[in-house]
Structure 1
Amino acid sequence: MISLVVGLAIVLDTYQGLGLGQQVSVYAQVDRWQNIYAGQRFTYQIVIDGYNQPGQVDLTTLDRFRPMPMGNQDLSQTSIQVINGRTYQQSTIRLVMNYSLIVEQPGHVTIPPVDVTIEGRTYRTNPVEIDVLAPGTTDKLALEVLISDPNCYVGQPVILTVRLFIAQDAEVGGLEFEIPALLDQRLIRDDPQDIPAHARPAKVYGNVTAYVWQEQVQYKGRPWNCVAFKKVLIPQQPGLLDLGQCTASVALATVVQAPSSIFDSFGFFGARTRYDRFGLFSGPLVLNARPLPQTGRPDGFYGLVGAYRISATASPTEVCVGDPITLTITITGPYLAPVQWPQLEAIPEMAQNFKIPSERAWPTVSNGQKVFTQTLRATSEQVTMIPSIRLPYFDPVSGSYQVAKTEPIPLKVMPTRVLTSKDVGTASAGPPRSSQIEAIRQGLAANYDGPDALVDCRQPGIAAFVRPAYLATWAGPLTIMLFSLGLKLARQASPTIRAASRKRRAAARAVKELRRAAATKDLGAATDALKRYVADRFDRKAGALTPADCHQIVLQSTNSPDLAGRFHTLMSQLDATRYGSQGSDAIAQDWLDRAIETIERIDRAIR
């Protein structure tokens, strides 16, 4: 059991008020009735008495416990009693700030004090003493954590695979994973391409979501039930990256207690199951991320690391000048999220011999392929082929840069037929008509001149405007105009209507700003546009948003880990490229395509 000492009155200072007329005290505690096991998270609470707003907590002293915020609870209450006709009222103002902590090793542990600032005054909590128990061990559980390529390169996607094996006769009451690598800021994380169809999204650590599946497998010669998930990890800086160790804490049924009294036999209470906590630990996870070589880097390389292939087809291949040709480009590789639209305009033969529209269809991803479709039009009958399209990448196996290419596609381009007068017929030419204009003196179309032809069209004075006939003519439209103006001003003055207008125009505004950022190659403006989209669409403040904040907002609003992950990955990679060494020349258009696609999918998901 836990040895817990909580000083309820230990504070650095107390004073009247903060406008509430009560003394303020701050202390820390954990649940004294709950066992704490090594490798298992537990709840640590900071209690503020006399004030019901969260303070500013300095968690520096708790770094080795890897604190994670778990939300706040306002436990303020008021009780009224009537005794002998007299009314007594008692109010309690209390806020509890919850954090989850973890201790790696069993033993007696002291959680040090933390400083909490409330309206400019700093309070210090008491230290908390806990006893951390060693979790049990059993042959009914096993944990396997694998990294596909521990010796990788910067920008290379590696697969983290976590598999928890549970004996088929075991009964599990709950499980928790602790995977520090999923929160490491030196890594970009994403979902892999090969997700099983029966996988379901679930939070596996903190707010990190993965697609989890269950299956029956053979492991070490025995049948097991297996719970598994994968994540893509992409190192963003070179060096030896210590990712810590993964742990799994599992509550396993160990004893089923039989009825102990006659009442239990009648089913009042029934048999009771006891669950014990067991811990599983992986070995230390380390990534050796090597930098990409500076020499031999081909033109057009934008950071693909892995074995990639590219192919292309065209239809039709026999056309006239100006006829549309559908070009289909297929790219395969280990990780397709960063694959960009091929820059056809950068190929001299392509830009010289074909008209390439700026409009592009969205790429599709399926069966390990990313497919791009583009319409081309040959500009002359001298065009004989669609030239080869290059895809530079870095091959981690050979440790060298490679360039994948498509095969040239032969074309037969015929001249466009020009219509002549023989094709459309020639109208007989009649005698020339005189262009001279003559005055007609008689008849219905006669022209009259002289003073008698003048008509008095003078308008009446200002007084005529108040006559009923004139009043109805000008007062009606004026009234409608003033009413519309007042309605517009009222809409602009309403916060609710302004917020609705922001949400309605958020996507269009973001797309416009993203296109401008792509044209000027300003990746900072692109990041700001994505933040502003989230702020406008979900009624937040753009300046304070981080990629993690945007991920959480999109996830809560769409309930789609895929969309939230894509948005977070896009923002993180934008920042990484913005401040990295590769520049933005080759990537601005790709970020534009991915950003617009993601925004449109988010908008569709929340309608």
Structure 2
Amino acid sequence: MGLVKEGNPVLTTRDRTILGEFPHIFTHKTILSLILVLCAIWGTVVRTQGAELTFTASVDRTQVGLDDSLTLTVSVSGKDVGGISEPQLPSLEQFEVVGTNSSSSSQFSIVNGKMTSSKTIDYIYSLRPLDVGKTTIGAATLKFKGQTYQTEPIDIQVVAGSVSGKSQKGRSPGIRTPQAPSVPEELAGQDLFVRAEFDRRKVFQNQQVTVTYALYNRTSLTNVQYGQQPTFTGFWTEEIYAADRLNFQQKVIGGKRYQVAVLKKLALFPTTSGDIEIEPMELLCDLQVRSRDIFDFWGRTKRVRIASEPATIMVQPLPQGGKPPSFTGAVGQFSLKASVDQNQVKAGEPLKLTVEVRGQGNLKTLLPPQLPALDNFTSFEPEVQEDISPAGNAIGGAKTYQYVLIPKEQGQYRIESLKLPYFDPAGKAYHIASTKPIAIDVLPGEKGEFPLVVGLGREEIKVVGQDIRYIKPSSVVLKNQRDDLFRNRFFWILQIVPLMAVCCAIVARRRRDRISRDAGYARYRRAHRQARQGLRAAQKLMRAESLPQFYGAVAKVLYDYLGDKLNISACGVTAQQLRDELKKYQLEGQLLEEILDFTQTCDYSRFAPASAQLADMETILKRVRNLLARLEKSDL
């Protein structure tokens, strides 16, 4: 190391006694000269040794199993090595570098009243062998102050299996790239990893799969960021839980105590059958690295990239046996209820029919139950309301359809039973939820009442013809009606109107069929409406001064809008993925940068709410409204 640990050179009692025996040889002048010469020689040795640099490489074992890993430590010692660059490793074709770390220590000594110091930096690499046989770790190279230093090569013998019986032995703590196993006990040797936990791996098409991403930690973790996120291609995704802050709970695995935090919980509904692979979730973790330097009060951090293991979900097609003819793809457990706001109504007056579907399953993609034949009623498109939320780990709730019906004439009528066929994955059987028939007593309308104009919206429907009708004076002369009817333009208008109505009905039917078949088109059409609903929810959070939830809700509005417009999964999309997708549509550069800047602002304020102010929330809300308005006008 080139360090001198002795104190100042002084004469002991024995030295003085010896000198006293030879007074004729050692005079005061001679003694003083000898001391000066010794001090000069000593200082030269100290300076020479302190200027030396030691560069070595070592491993924790020279025989390693193919299932094991070994630790390569490259050490640099000497003066003024604080800003030295990292050594250049040799070619490691027979190994996989699964983690890196570094540590440093300092030593001090005082000689002749002068303090000298030396620093040691250890660069630590965790290596995993790739093949059985004898191999060599070549010399590492270091350039320092114009000179080149090299370490000695190290011979390694790699054998089959595991030498230690535990493949995790010998790895440096806190730097591992984990593997997410099927059972938690297999992760007992790792200190930091993320795990994807599925409640089931084999499901039917459109049956819910719940995935929970959890972070397991036994290190000095300081910060966590999301890296590459899975796209969940082949799934309809619903978010059950997303952590605003990491809430760690203790959990013991393999005799070791871990701090475990749930990051995300998602409900996945497979849209197609077959084996569907889910990509890993990546995290960027900053770890506190301990330092032996007594003057390094804050230490250093080391960024580590970890990822969950990819997973495969086996999706079975729905059985054909017993499938009802009117089945539209509902999977789960549902009940059906229908009611009217009044059972007695006058002819020509509106009547409201409410149909409620309640249960567990993918209610958002559920098609409305088919109405029975209503020959004596005029019906309008329903108004749809959703009250969907996770109950535990299951997505469920209610979806309500409100129809406006207008009876055409007096009589006793009945709305027959509505039916909703669905497949229950728990019982592996088809069922039909149904309602009870509803009796309607239609009374005669008011005398002289004008018929309602068909085609008005529900809000525009009102009763007319209740004002006074004046008697026409006798002086009124009727117009000559002897002209040919086909020459009257109103005649042709009446001929064209039914044709236009038929065309509109065909277009509406095709649009409805396309929405039921094409999930991407359905998402595109509902994007703006969903964004408006999300903004109203965010406004409520702003009034409640819930900063983290507000920024999360605002960011979710923009992500969901873009996900619906681009037909990609909004869960787990990264800024780079968003940039790549938007560039395909040649989006204006300034608008693209504003979108990315807005998402970064929301993420920062969401995870660091202390820096966000309540006054900024109104500005954020205006920004997202402006972005949505500009996106609506773009070619997206």
Common fold by TM > 0.5? no
Q: TM-score, normalised by structure 2?
A: 0.42
TM-score of the pair, normalised by structure 1: 0.44
